[in-house]
Structure 1
Amino acid sequence: SFIFGSFATIRCDSGFVLRGKQKLKCIKDIENIGTGGKWDAETPTCEAISCGYPGVPEQGAMDNTNYNYPSNITFSCFSGYILRGASVLHCPLTGTWTAPVPECIGNHFRHSKPH
């Protein structure tokens, strides 16, 4: 229980970010007398750190739909294409993928005949 005028400090576990006020003050609830107190702001929430949808390369695929810390996504290319770039992206605490989405390049080599 909290005494009027006291504070509560809200913290999130690693991998989560606080949305809202970190420090709340216990105040009297003058609208609902007899119910005790209330906080001076809405209760904050802890949301998972997300790197967001990275995109899928044309002619390629990815193996994961979880874009939150600490996920990894592995990319591959369809038959006839080769991967250029990092095949695995990691979502760190910064919330930014560790590399750009790779490309799938056609593996079609043309041979020209000399004249």
Structure 2
Amino acid sequence: MANGLWDRSLPKCLVISCGHPGVPANAILTGDLFTYGAVVHYSCQGSHSLVGNSSRTCQEDSHWSGALPHCTGNNPGF
């Protein structure tokens, strides 16, 4: 401005957090960052098979991409 001052306050950088993405039964989550741009990977234990995407990304809108996958397969005792 003409008086040598800025017309608004300085911008602030905020961390975008998606929170914990969840872990389905019989699954293993790899990745421990849950902020914008972070990618987590899913795999299943034992003879279970993964249904859905094996990875999800923390997006700018603070939501994880895609849906939570799940594990299916042989369960001992069933």
TM-score by length of 2: 0.78
- Find the counterpart in structure 2 of residue 80 from structure 1: 47
Decide which of 39, 60, 70 is 1:93's aligned counterpart.
60
How many matched pairs? 72
Sequence identity percentage: 30
Structure with bigger strand share is 1
Structure 1 residue ranges, 4+ long, deviating more than 3 angstroms after superposition: none
- Find the counterpart in structure 2 of residue 31 from structure 1: none
- Find the counterpart in structure 2 of residue 11 from structure 1: 11
Superposed displacement of residue 101, structure 1: 1.3
Decide which of 28, 48, 51 is 1:61's aligned counterpart.
28
- What is the distance in 2 between the residues matched to 1:90 and 1:100? 11
- What is the distance in 2 between the residues matched to 1:68 and 1:51? 6
Superposed displacement of residue 62, structure 1: 0.8
Superposed displacement of residue 8, structure 1: 3.9
RMSD between superposed Cα atoms in Å: 2.0
- Give 5+ residue unaligned stretches, structure 1: 13-45, 109-115
- Find the counterpart in structure 2 of residue 18 from structure 1: none
Structure ID, larger Rg? 1
Deviation sequence 1:11-61 (CA, Å, 0-9, x none)? 23xxxxxxxxxxxxxxxxxxxxxxxxxxxxxxxxx4310111111010011
Decide which of 11, 14, 17 is 1:50's aligned counterpart.
17
Superposed displacement of residue 9, structure 1: 1.9
